[in-house]
Amino acid sequence: MPKLTIDTITLDVPEGTNLLEAARSIGIVIPHFCWHPALGKAGACRACAVKLLEGPVKGIQMSCMLAAQDGMVVSTTDEEALAMRRAVIEWLMINHPHDCPVCDEGGECQLQDYTIAGGHSLRRYDGRKRTHLNQQLGPYLQHEMNRCIQCYRCARFYQEYAGGDDFGVLGRAGAVYFGRQQDGALQSLFSGNLADICPTGVFTDKTARFRARYWDYDMAPSVCPHCSLGCNTVPMARYRELLKITARRNQAVNGWFICDRGRFSNAAVNAPDRPRQALVDRLPVSLDAALDAAVERLNEFLMLHGSGALAIVASPRMSLEGNLLAARLRDLLNAGALCYFGDVLHAERTLEAVSLLNADNRASQEDLRQADLVAIMECDLLEQAPMMALAVRQAWRNGARVFAVGAECSLENAQQELFKAEAVVTLADVPLKDAKRPVVICGTRHKGLDSIRAAAGIEAKLAFVLDGPNAFGCALLAREQGALSFSEALAGGTLKGIIALEADLPDDLPPDIRIMAAADWQSSGVLERAEVLLPVTCWVEMEGTYVNNEGRAQRFKQVMRPGLPIKGLTPELHPPRLHRHDAPGGDLLPSWRIVAGLLERLGEERIQEPLTGRWAGLQGLDAEGGGVLLSGWK
């Protein structure tokens, strides 16, 4: 471990650490544009100059390009280094627009920060600025090439990190252009990350453009609900409208990035016709009245049919808190069935996948990125867990062999864009024993699990692709609570009534089965049929917990208050004629509070904290702490 001194602080750093990273590790930030922790160095921007005073190298050096060595004495504040960095900013600003006060990247622009921090306030160059034409890059990203400082982050991410081939750098020397051969939507499923990694706003989220300044946003640490991986995000909202979602770093999970499905999926949250009004027999009522009506009908139903005819149907879409209280509701009512999964095969495979994982063999996305062999069984990664496909690409770029196992392994797209896989028939054909860090990825929709079970004691880490952000949590609860799948409950023939909690029930549900109450934030046939409709908050409007595919419990925080976005208000409601404390359509509670409301009306004490019993340890979970792995929970 090299020992060096940076600004009078002596430190040891791991071999290979560059000076910029070494300084960051002790809280000294050196300006930088082209270096990125996930992309490495490029030496393109020259903004990270430091002066080496003593040791094997001397003089002005780019800190991102030079590995720390024993005996180095580095100054980040030497006048010569400061002058170099000031000069770089001045050169960059020669061609960059001077429009920070009205620029839509203002407030989240690295160039703006370093320009102000470095004291550059006077333009000496009086020539014309170099300008470019922008391209239409599709519905999600806005192109503003005049802001470009040629750091190459975008091309390096798009082509090298994410394997895209429809975007890159054109031209040469001082005349370079970052774009496509011609206008057209970016094809990569990870293109939205350009908006996060561009340090100056050449690429911005078009869907949120000119809707808010950075400091106007309501934002909080959150977790993506669109697959089972639990990628960390920062959703940003204003006036009760979810405007954009950015990636949040979690090295063990998504690293620095997220996929476009997670990033550009605001429409359902903002939909003006989303369920926001409690209904009883299709008539609007207050949420309290709806809960009263649900309990009344429940009591009538129990008198008529008995508790064995009732099913409480929860779901992997719902937070852990809601799913836990669903089990309490089942216990209180002695309901005939508690269901977390739709069909029996789905339930069995998810439960089995979870039972096959333990503290030693579960693979995080970081384990995948570091793997030297990856076998993918029976799943379409780009469709079911895009960020896992991106993790496999990083392993493949580092030399890992990738195998596609079985006929149902749909890798056509992934193979073309992200990595080359060798097709084999069975897991036995994969040379797992030759690898040091092998990972087997397996879906739960097909029969790949059979092979893993058959190869008991498999010497590889395992990563399962589940369905739903809380499928792992539901599997633990299903085992603990003796839950049935919904198809089993239905096949029993005694089912007469349902309480549905963010549940996706089959469209052909027999008409004689009553849905007495249904809670959800998305419109569905279930809500259409429900006697009592209980609208609930979605994940950005509440605090809660998901357990991801590796068994990592992660807390997500409330980002925005529920209610109809101001943009969606009708002329009668907006502008408001009277001051009011509540938001139109804002009478929503998280699902767990809805269940708590039912429990309290049925005689239980007021529930303040849903995570109790062996789940109590998750109560203080820090949303920014990276999550905790549940171990020994089978």
Give the residue with the Cβ less far from ligand FES, 150 or 591: 150
* Least distance between ligand FES and beta carbon 44 (Å): 6
Give the residue with the Cβ less far from ligand FES, 48 or 338: 48
* Paired sense of beta strands 73-75 and 49-54, if any: antiparallel
Q: State the helix-helix crossing angle for 110-117 and 79-95, rounded to 10 degrees.
A: 130
Give the residue with the Cβ less far from ligand FES, 35 or 615: 35
If DSSP codes are grouped into helix, strand and coil, which group holds residue 485?
A: coil
* Least distance between ligand FES and beta carbon 434 (Å): 38
* Least distance between ligand FES and beta carbon 324 (Å): 47
Residue 5 dihedral angles phi and psi, to the nearest 5°? -125, 130
* Least distance between ligand FES and beta carbon 9 (Å): 21
Give the residue with the Cβ less far from ligand FES, 62 or 503: 62
Contact yes or no for 457/389 (Cβ under 8 A): no
* Least distance between ligand FES and beta carbon 472 (Å): 39
* Least distance between ligand FES and beta carbon 424 (Å): 42
Question: What x-and-dash track marks residues 517-556 binding ligand FES by CB under 6 A?
Answer: ----------------------------------------
Give the residue with the Cβ less far from ligand FES, 147 or 238: 147
Q: Can you read off the two tokens belonging to residue 474?
A: 């539901």
Q: Can you read off the two tokens belonging to residue 95?
A: 């061609």
Residues 475, 341: Cα–Cα separation, whole Å: 9
Give the residue with the Cβ less far from ligand FES, 64 or 475: 64
CA-angle at 339, arms to 334 and 342, nearest 5°? 155
Helix extents (H) in 157-208 = 193-197
Give the residue with the Cβ less far from ligand FES, 84 or 462: 84
Q: Can you read off the two tokens belonging to residue 327?
A: 């089990």
Amino acid at 90: E
Give the residue with the Cβ less far from ligand FES, 35 or 403: 35
Q: State the helix-helix crossing angle for 591-601 and 287-305, rounded to 10 degrees.
A: 60
Question: What x-and-dash track marks residues 340-379 binding ligand FES by CB under 6 A?
Answer: ----------------------------------------
Contact yes or no for 375/455 (Cβ under 8 A): no
* Least distance between ligand FES and beta carbon 21 (Å): 11
Give the residue with the Cβ less far from ligand FES, 34 or 339: 34
* Least distance between ligand FES and beta carbon 34 (Å): 3
Contact yes or no for 407/424 (Cβ under 8 A): no
Give the residue with the Cβ less far from ligand FES, 51 or 552: 51
Residues 251, 254: Cα–Cα separation, whole Å: 6
Give the residue with the Cβ less far from ligand FES, 43 or 431: 43
Torsion of CA 7, 13, 17, 22, to 10 degrees: -30
* Least distance between ligand FES and beta carbon 127 (Å): 25
* Least distance between ligand FES and beta carbon 16 (Å): 16
Residues 392, 603: Cα–Cα separation, whole Å: 51
Residues 393, 160: Cα–Cα separation, whole Å: 10
Give the residue with the Cβ less far from ligand FES, 43 or 506: 43
Residue for token digits 């439960």? Answer: 351
Residue for token digits 């996930």? Answer: 38
Residue for token digits 């897991």? Answer: 427
Contacts of 454 (CB under 8 A, 6+ apart): none
Q: Can you read off the two tokens belonging to residue 208?
A: 């949120």
- Exposure string (b/e) for 45-73, b if CB count within 10 Å is 16 or more? bbbbbbbbeebeeeeebbbbebebeeebb
Strand partners, 520: 535
Residues 581, 592: Cα–Cα separation, whole Å: 24
- Residue 62 binds to ligand FES (criterion: CB under 6 A): yes
Give the residue with the Cβ less far from ligand FES, 196 or 531: 196
* Least distance between ligand FES and beta carbon 250 (Å): 24
Give residues 493-522 in contact with ligand FES (rule: CB under 6 A).
Answer: none
* Least distance between ligand FES and beta carbon 1 (Å): 23
Give the residue with the Cβ less far from ligand FES, 34 or 357: 34
Contact yes or no for 590/326 (Cβ under 8 A): no
* Least distance between ligand FES and beta carbon 95 (Å): 17
* Least distance between ligand FES and beta carbon 42 (Å): 6
Question: What x-and-dash track marks residues 20-59 binding ligand FES by CB under 6 A?
Answer: ------------xxxx-------xxxxxx-----------
Please choose, from the candidates 44, 128, 124, the residue with its C-alpha nearest in 3D space to the C-alpha of residue 87. 124
Please choose, from the candidates 130, 52, 116, the residue with its C-alpha nearest in 3D space to the C-alpha of residue 86. 116
Q: Can you read off the two tokens belonging to residue 303?
A: 């008198």
Contacts of 177 (CB under 8 A, 6+ apart): 132, 145, 169, 170, 171
Task: Kindly determine how many residues on this chain lie close enough to bind ligand FES according to the rule CB under 6 A.
Answer: 12
Give the residue with the Cβ less far from ligand FES, 37 or 431: 37
* Least distance between ligand FES and beta carbon 100 (Å): 21
Binding site for ligand FES (CB under 6 A): 32-35, 43-48, 62, 64
